[in-house]
């Protein structure tokens, strides 16, 4: 059983997956820091310093002054403001990741175009793929 476990761990897929998870977690922290520390403050300022995290619906009937007060008193509330913040953060994170992936994809070299010529079997001159006769040596390509 130990031998099977060692073989399982030594497979390339498992190691690749482990590396991807570690890199993904580190990258996730970078993107979250970018969104929360750099992008969200100007967006909040542009929206008139709106803080969605304090929005809630009181279902207890005791009218707490704030969400923190309701949570401190243990009152049942629907804290929909945190959900709005999370949705906005998700959309911004998805946009940032899309832009990063798009930039990285631009760095990859474009695949070469398919060949549109072939070599003549007699004189090795490049001729169009649809040619039936070589322009250099006049060999009939259909019979060659």
**Dihedral (CA of 74, 75, 76, 79) sign:** negative
The confidence score (pLDDT) of residue 85 equals: 81
Quickly count: other Cβ atoms within 10 Å of residue 134's Cβ. 20
Count CA atoms closer than 13 A to 3's CA, side-chain side.
0
The confidence score (pLDDT) of residue 144 equals: 56
pTM over 0.85: no
**In angstroms, rounded to a whole number, what is the distance separating the alpha carbons of residues 4 and 92?**
44
Report the number of distinct structural domains present in the chain: 2
Segments forming the whole domain that contains residue 78: 2-108
The confidence score (pLDDT) of residue 143 equals: 65
Low-confidence ranges of the chain (pLDDT < 50): none
C-beta of residue 126 within 8 angstroms of C-beta of residue 119: yes
Same domain assignment for residues 26 and 51:
yes
Same domain assignment for residues 104 and 120:
no
C-beta of residue 89 within 8 angstroms of C-beta of residue 36: yes
The confidence score (pLDDT) of residue 12 equals: 65
The confidence score (pLDDT) of residue 27 equals: 83
Q: Please report, for the domain that includes residue 78, its CATH number.
A: 1.10.1200.120
Same domain assignment for residues 120 and 56:
no
């Amino acid at each position: 059983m130990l031998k099977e476990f060692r073989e399982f761990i030594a497979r390339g897929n498992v190691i690749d997956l482990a590396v991807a998870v570690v890199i993904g977690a580190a990258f996730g922290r970078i993107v979250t820091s970018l969104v929360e520390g750099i992008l969200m403050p100007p967006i909040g300022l542009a929206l008139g310093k709106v803080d969605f995290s304090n929005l809630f619906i009181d279902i207890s009937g005791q009218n707490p002054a704030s969400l923190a007060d309701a949570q401190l008193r243990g009152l049942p509330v629907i804290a929909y403001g945190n959900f709005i913040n999370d949705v906005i953060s998700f959309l911004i994170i998805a946009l940032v990741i899309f832009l990063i992936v798009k930039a990285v994809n631009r760095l990859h070299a474009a695949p070469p175009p398919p060949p549109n010529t072939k070599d003549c079997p007699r004189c090795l001159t490049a001729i169009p793929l649809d040619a039936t006769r070589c322009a250099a040596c006049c060999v009939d390509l259909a019979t060659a």
